[in-house]
Structure 1
Amino acid sequence: MTAPVLMIAGCGDLGLRLAAQPLLADWRIHGLRRDTTALPASILPVPGDFTQPACPDGWPAGPIDYLLYSASPQRRDEDGYRLAYVEGLRNVLAWLALYGQHPRRLLFVSSVGVYGQHDGEWVDERSPTEPDGYTGQVMLEAERLALASGLPATLVRLAGLYHPSRPWLQGQVRAGMQAQQEPPQYSNRIHRDDAATLLATLLLAEQGGTALEDCYLGVDDAPAPLHEVVDWLRQRLGIDAPDGPAIQRRAGSKRCSNARARALGWTPRYPSYREGYADEQE
């Protein structure tokens, strides 16, 4: 039986974690990124830049069964986001067409930032997407491009990724971060390892003949008020509460449901911030 072929366009930290999943050990995995020198031997390197129209010289000529598009903008402005998510995806789709490749499924890594709810509402894959800022608006534009690509496409809207290698929130807490308590600012997150297992679950379900939905939310089981998370981390790190004013978080306060992903058989190893951050601090 021929091994499934996966192209990870934007093979960064999440792509590396996906490729390391034991259930994908027999897959043939290509990794597209600017610098491929750090890729493990299990990933076939494809040096290239999807923000440029020219197809990389190392693009595989054979069939590609699955495409994972996982971008990260080089510039954190509107043009940078559009270049990474919209133009980059458009370029990769053109390269597929150039080689006559028609993957069985495109997985597009998106964000729960496409939701603009701000009163602590529960949201799922069917909730309205009306983001206020350009980041969510550009992501929606890229999502529409993916769904109109002519390929069977699934959007994977991830919440904030965290992992010990990038302890951003802990650093903010050590620097004196506070979060307002009223009204509570609900936050959503997913451990990077759980995000990788979700992607693997989707790929294996597709390979096994399961009809995937066009969208899944990648979040843990327990959205929580940001002040609760900050206070818990401060206590765990042994940091006294600062006296300064609360730092205002960016707009948005919602609680995201992972029920659809769980119904597919995925279970997060870190169901809440407590398990995830406790594991990191040990």
Structure 2
Amino acid sequence: MNASLLIAGCGDVGTRLGVRLAAEGWSVYGLRRSVTQLPGAIVPVAGDLQMDECPSAWPTGKLDYLVYCAAANSHDEAGYRSAYVEGLHRVLGWLAEHGQTPRRLLFVSSTGVYGQQGGEWVDEGSPAEAAGYSGRVMREAEQLALGSGLPATCVRLSGLYGPGREWLLGQVRQGYRVASEPPLYGNRIHVDDAAGLLAYLLQADQRGVVLENCYIGVDDEPAPLDQVVAWLREQLNVTHWSDTAQVRRAGSKRCSNGRARGLGWAPQYPSYREGYRAILGDAGLLEGLQLE
């Protein structure tokens, strides 16, 4: 059975999701300000989540699913609130205007809602009480999604990386330093796996699988940042250290993907090693790569 999907905030992850499901026969609409970059498989819906007026190209008829995966234009509290809370509120209003009641809303959230900093293991049942504005606003948006009147699931992603998201590689090339004690655990997921998890959840719902209201989207192996940096230095043959490029991040937690795996999902890139190997291979940098 074909299904229809609207992706509100159809950027990198949303586009990868849309292409994936369009190939499975889904009708996919992508809402974003500039639609010129959308591939032909996704029906463009030019619109601004920060404007009250409903996009003129809003799809008519039944919408089976909504994925809300906006990104903030500015990294301050006002920017976060505009993108995640006010933008979602507008989209829910546009659905109501058109009498559309999707069978499920997926809200793409972040593990930044967790405030744990001591390397603790975190899952969907852990307290989500981040003190910073980004985590607090994201939790507010999650509550808006869960209280929208639609069946809703929040998907908390962490540490997105992949083609075009290579900040850490650039830092390592500059001789990036990171403390090893205490270990600063980080969590990550390749952009293809993030899109794959969203697709998996939508297809599971379509099959009648009962979904939880929250899933964490990370790979199988939270890792200390110094370990990731050391491995990347080896792959890139970096031998120098910078006196200025040093990590100052204080947060440290280990996020579990056990709930998503229990549903049957598995990441294509189970750790940073497989994910970064793919990036380095695409860039032609695999000569002399040390496989483990």
Q: TM-score range by the shorter chain?
A: over 0.9
Aligned residue for 1:34? 33
Which secondary structure state, in structure 2, belongs to the residue aligned with residue 127 of structure 1? Answer: coil
Aligned residue for 1:133? 132
Where do 1:17-56 residues align within 5 Å? 17-21=16-20, 24-56=23-55
Render the CA deviation track for 1:103-127: whole Å, top value 9, x for unaligned.
Answer: 0000000000101101100000000
Percent of aligned pairs with the same amino acid: 61
Once residues 24 and 150 of structure 1 are traced to their aligned partners in structure 2, the CA distance between those partners, rounded to angstroms, is: 30
Query: What is the count of residue pairs matched by the alignment?
Result: 281
Q: 1:22 to 1:208 in 2, by over 3 A?
A: same
Segments of 5+ residues of structure 2 without an aligned counterpart are 282-292
Where do 1:208-227 residues align within 5 Å? 208-227=207-226
Aligned residue for 2:284? none
CA contact (8 A) 1:234 1:241 kept: no
Where do 1:1-282 residues align within 5 Å? 1=1, 3-21=2-20, 24-242=23-241, 244=243, 247-282=246-281
Q: 1:220 to 1:249 in 2, by over 3 A?
A: farther
CA contact (8 A) 2:31 2:45 kept: yes
Which secondary structure state, in structure 1, belongs to the residue aligned with residue 210 of structure 2? Answer: coil
CA contact (8 A) 2:174 2:245 kept: no
Cα drift, residue 175 of structure 1: 1.9
Once residues 268 and 24 of structure 2 are traced to their aligned partners in structure 1, the CA distance between those partners, rounded to angstroms, is: 20
Once residues 272 and 196 of structure 1 are traced to their aligned partners in structure 2, the CA distance between those partners, rounded to angstroms, is: 16
CA contact (8 A) 2:4 2:63 kept: yes
Once residues 170 and 31 of structure 1 are traced to their aligned partners in structure 2, the CA distance between those partners, rounded to angstroms, is: 30
Q: 1:253 to 1:44 in 2, by over 3 A?
A: same
Instruction: Please provide the CA RMSD for this pair.
Output: 1.3
Q: Structure 1: which 4+ aligned runs deviate by more than 4 Å?
A: none
CA contact (8 A) 2:19 2:42 kept: no
TM-score, length-normalised on structure 2? 0.93
Once residues 177 and 275 of structure 1 are traced to their aligned partners in structure 2, the CA distance between those partners, rounded to angstroms, is: 21
Cα drift, residue 23 of structure 1: 7.6
CA contact (8 A) 1:29 1:44 kept: yes
TM-score, length-normalised on structure 1? 0.97
Once residues 81 and 18 of structure 2 are traced to their aligned partners in structure 1, the CA distance between those partners, rounded to angstroms, is: 26
Cα drift, residue 77 of structure 1: 1.0
Which secondary structure state, in structure 1, belongs to the residue aligned with residue 180 of structure 2? Answer: coil
Once residues 97 and 91 of structure 2 are traced to their aligned partners in structure 1, the CA distance between those partners, rounded to angstroms, is: 10
Cα drift, residue 240 of structure 1: 1.1
Cα drift, residue 165 of structure 1: 2.3
Aligned residue for 2:289? none
Which secondary structure state, in structure 1, belongs to the residue aligned with residue 117 of structure 2? Answer: coil
Segments of 5+ residues of structure 1 without an aligned counterpart are none
CA contact (8 A) 2:21 2:28 kept: no
Render the CA deviation track for 1:26-54: whole Å, top value 9, x for unaligned.
Answer: 00000000011121111111000011111
Once residues 113 and 6 of structure 1 are traced to their aligned partners in structure 2, the CA distance between those partners, rounded to angstroms, is: 27
Structure 2 counterpart of 1:149, which letter? S
Once residues 22 and 47 of structure 1 are traced to their aligned partners in structure 2, the CA distance between those partners, rounded to angstroms, is: 20
CA contact (8 A) 2:119 2:252 kept: yes
